Structure 1
């Protein structure tokens, strides 16, 4: 549905509808607020550094919400999903490890019971389990139960979550009018 490659782009109140690969967050810093994003397999994917706030992430088939493509530890990219809602008509992983250093964080997010208990998938590459950053922080709802999560995902502390839970994650003060 959309490929975004420009830096410093913001979307508010938008609907992104598709199936596999709905939103290609290719590269750059992006802010998505109050958006509805619908898809199946990896419906948010790419190597952007993006902040999703108060967005509904709706799965229409079995797959994963996010496939972030951070390929090197030196890259400053990742997806932060804050105060969002994971819904759907089919089961879904929160994220898949598209690259060795994939980074995806869900914070303060409501998760319906369609979230697969393991939560995260290593893309059949166990070596990625020690290098990805997949985390959750103060999420709620029946799908947020972390008892069955893969052991290599993280339940973030206040300090760890801090860098992901504000617009500072995308250096918004440099390019967004925050007034």
Structure 2
């Protein structure tokens, strides 16, 4: 049946309206970039490794293309399909940065995590544009919503101080990643409560430093942390992770391999934010700050039947499995195998060179 509109376009023998055609073109782009959905995630085969061009950020306008990171991002095409490297010179950049959904293939590279710092100070209770609290999601200093993002040698910081125990609305995200296939090398993530929001997608963290107090690595991503230092600044009690897997069908979870857990306070390795929460620590050194039980059920005993919390060949005073909760596991070689290599995040598909 033919469309009654004269503005339709012919495609595969079917007349389409402008709106339908626009939607078709958008979906072609989505398929080209790759789905955000292991059973959930499709093959990530379109990563752009080599830069098409670079931009320079410097606080001195005479030395760079832009003086702020957001300005550089805003200058890119609405739909970005080539690798763009944004070199951020040394300095403290006080700005809130967002990368929109269609600006893929962006690399942010600093001159060293101790030299190049992006910082802001929003919390969940900070009033937003309409006067309503921002909430945790929008509190992020730096937020990425597009796939194939890379960050190297830079610090992302939320300047909000450590809140007192029981404080309300003090979630303060330093970095939020809400897209597939993102990698971080030599980066620092600094905050207190809810520092790193590993929201969704497959992510790789290598040689990074992550600091916080309560649930400071949280979200529902499928993420591998390799050779990272996880440092607690909890004044009393805190937790490293709050992994949010909500269904047995979700291929999400956090794996820490060859990492170090250090710091202050009494620390849980994780709290069961999601009823099917999944976290593994392998070959990881744990300081004596780890609470012997190791894990917390988020006040819901039913979650003890469905979470997957494991350790494998960990070391240090806090790594003893003797006092762990009965519903966590000391993994066998076979049980640990899926969690301790890049295969956990399908890394061979999209992590090409470092």
Aligned length: 179
Q: How does 1:26-45 map to 2 (within 5 A)?
A: 26-45=199-218
Structure 2 counterpart of 1:14: 187
Structure 1 counterpart of 2:257: 82
The unaligned stretches of length 5 or more in structure 2 are 1-173
Secondary structure of the structure 2 residue equivalent to 1:90: strand
The unaligned stretches of length 5 or more in structure 1 are none
Secondary structure of the structure 2 residue equivalent to 1:89: strand
Secondary structure of the structure 2 residue equivalent to 1:142: coil
Structure 1 runs (4+) greater than 2 angstroms displaced: none
For the pair 1:5 / 2:178, whether they are aligned, the reply is yes
Q: Which structure carries more relative contact order (alpha carbon 8 Å, separation 6+)?
A: 1
**TM-score where L is the length of structure 1:** 0.99
Give, in angstroms, the shift of residue 47 of structure 1. Answer: 0.3
Taking a change above 3 Å as real, the CA distance of residues 111 and 138 of structure 1, as seen in their structure-2 partners, is: same
Give, in angstroms, the shift of residue 178 of structure 1. Answer: 5.0
Q: How does 1:128-139 map to 2 (within 5 A)?
A: 128-139=303-314
**TM-score where L is the length of structure 2:** 0.50
Cα distance in 2 for partners of 1:33, 1:91 equals 26
Q: How does 1:157-172 map to 2 (within 5 A)?
A: 157-172=332-347
Cα distance in 1 for partners of 2:345, 2:212 equals 24
Deviation per CA, 1:79-100, whole angstroms, max 9, x where unpaired?
0000000001211100000011
Contact 1:59 1:91 in 2 (8 A): no
For the pair 1:58 / 2:231, whether they are aligned, the reply is yes
Larger Rg: 2
Structure 2 counterpart of 1:49: 222
Cα distance in 2 for partners of 1:154, 1:67 equals 17
Contact 1:65 1:92 in 2 (8 A): yes
Cα distance in 1 for partners of 2:274, 2:196 equals 17
Structure 2 counterpart of 1:25: 198
* Equivalent position to 2:281, from 106, 109, 119: 106
